[in-house]
Chains A and B, each alone.
Chain A
Amino acid sequence: MAIRIAVASGKGGTGKTTVSLNLAARFGEPVQLADCDVEEPNDNLFLKCEHLASSEVVMLTPQVNKDLCTGCGACGEICQFRGIISLGSKAIVFPELCHGCGGCFRVCPTGAISETPHQIGKISIGQSGNIRLVEGRLEVGVSLVPPVIRAVREQLLEDMPAILDAPPGTSCPVVATLRDCDYVLMVTDPTPFGLHDLKLAVAMVRELGLPCGVVVNRAGDDRVGLYRFCEEQNLPVLLSIPDDRLIAEVVSRGGLVADALPEYGLMFSELSEKLKKRVRPTGGKP
């Protein structure tokens, strides 16, 4: 089982994608990049894989056979999300609210409910140099993020290291990305928001029992005490990326910093070496 490194942040816009992409580009061996920010995947804007193999992510939602439904209401009682209701009449289904638990299917006394697939997302797989990209994309109007993230993870090959580009925040989608990873790289910036959300993210990662290290992006004057916090919390700062306009220019053009600016390419090679020394596969699920 190869290592799994998640790149997370707490605060949005700290540079998770930049770090994930450039770490992957300087990993020094074939690596997988999982774009788990399925609400707005953007890794491929930079990798530009053209030939993507796509597959649907589906969830089973109920379908009611009106001839068999007696309108007893058992399905609506067990549903916590109003995905199916019966108000003294035949049951009606709202697939966009269904969480796919299958409860209604099981409690229906007359067997009127069957399960049919409903598309909630799409997985695309591509190759760019040494990087095997696995991208998840949520369907418009769907709010079930974790199942799509789990579908991305199911597509990861077990014997190739993987970098998982997480969504921001500390809620279910992030937990779905981080769970069973071997290490979490937290990207932050030396701003009050950056530090505030880093604290939340550290608490979440500790709750999950995962080792973690920090990448400080747009590093400059540390007016908020970010480095002091990292020291107090025994969080190794594995890389500080300077607040350099050239980086922003490369990113704004959809380029890879490691390729366009060799001195930063070297920094990401060093980060990758540090991680390989630190991270040991724990044998969790992919």
Chain B
Amino acid sequence: MNKIAFTTSGHDLKAELDPRFGRAQFFLVYDLQQNSIQIIDNKQSRSAAQGAGIQAAEIVARAGVDALVTGHCGPKAFRALSAAGVAVYNCDAMKIEEALEALKSGSLQRASSADVEGHW
């Protein structure tokens, strides 16, 4: 695993993990090799009338991530992420750094399906 996307409304690892994926404010992409972070604005998906989850999946896939850590992921987003080869991890941690630790320690299970209905 090289790059991981986290949903958030902040700009660093101390920021909160946003439970929403499609309409999250930003994606924080953490590079495990470089130990660096990149912030991607999810504005385009937030302003979409429909298909925000698919749009967001496209954004994180194009950022070259292998995994996504978020609160919940709906069916369309999950299908798009799976097609792009992005592993999804549902996590109820409050902060990104906690979620990152949980992922590194292996306590997060890779999701095998969407965990919520669309527009949850």
Which residues from chain A contact B116 at a C-beta distance below 8 Å?
A: none
Q: Which residues of B contact A179 (CB under 8 A)?
A: none
Known: A92-B79, A92-B83, A94-B76. A87 touches B61 (CB 8 A): yes
Instruction: Evaluate whether A82 and B50 lie within 8 angstroms (CB atoms) in the complex, with A87-B62, A94-B76 already known.
Output: yes
Q: Is A76 an interface residue (CB 8 A)?
A: yes
Partner among B48, B55, B57, B84 whose Cβ is within 8 Å of the Cβ of A88:
B84
A143 at the interface (CB under 8 A from B): yes
Q: How far is the CA of A89 from the CA of B81 in the complex (A)?
A: 11
Q: Is A193 an interface residue (CB 8 A)?
A: no
Q: Are A97 and B58 in contact (CB under 8 A)?
A: no
Residues of A within 8 A of B28 (CB): none
A92 to chain B: which residues have CB within 8 Å?
79-80, 83
Instruction: Tell me the smallest distance from the CB of A188 to a CB of chain B, in Å.
Output: 29
Whether B10 is near chain A, meaning CB under 8 Å from some CB there, is no
> Would you call A87 and B80 a contact (CB within 8 A)?
yes
A24 close to B (CB within 8 Å)? no
- CB–CB A87/B50 < 8 A: no
**Known contacts A87-B58, A87-B61, A87-B84, A82 near B51 by CB under 8 Å:** yes
Residue of A nearest to B48 (CB): A82
Q: Mark A88-107, 1 if CB is under 8 A from B, else 0.
A: 11101010010000000000
Whether, in the assembled complex, A81 has its beta carbon less than 8 Å from a beta carbon of chain B, the answer is yes
A58-102 interface code vs B (CB 8 A; 1 in, 0 out): 000000000000000000100001110101111010100100000
On whether the beta carbons of A89 and B83 are closer than 8 Å, the reply is: yes
Q: A88-B84, A89-B85, A97-B50 are in contact. Are A82 and B55 (CB under 8 A)?
A: yes
Pair A143/B50 contact, Cβ less than 8 Å: yes
Contact B50 A85 (CB under 8 A): no
Question: Complex formed: what's the CA distance from A79 to B105 in Å?
Answer: 40
Complex contact A85–B80 (CB within 8 A): yes
B83 proximity list for chain A (CB < 8 A)? 85, 87, 89-90, 92
Contacts A76-B58, A94-B76 given; does A89 touch B84 at CB 8 Å:
yes
Docked pose: A83 CA to B80 CA in angstroms = 11
- Please indicate the chain A residues that have their CB under 8 angstroms from the CB of B50 in the complex: 81-82, 97, 143
Whether B80 contacts A97 by the Cβ 8 Å rule is: no
Measured CB to CB, the residues of A under 8 A from B are: 76, 81-83, 85, 87-90, 92, 94, 97, 143
Q: Can you give 23 A-B contacts (C-beta < 8 A)?
A: A81-B50, A82-B48, A82-B50, A82-B51, A82-B54, A82-B58, A83-B51, A85-B54, A85-B58, A87-B61, A87-B80, A88-B61, A88-B84, A88-B85, A89-B85, A90-B83, A92-B79, A92-B83, A94-B54, A94-B76, A97-B51, A97-B54, A97-B76
Given A87-B83, A89-B84, list of 8 further CB < 8 A pairs? A76-B58, A81-B50, A81-B51, A82-B48, A85-B57, A87-B57, A97-B54, A97-B76
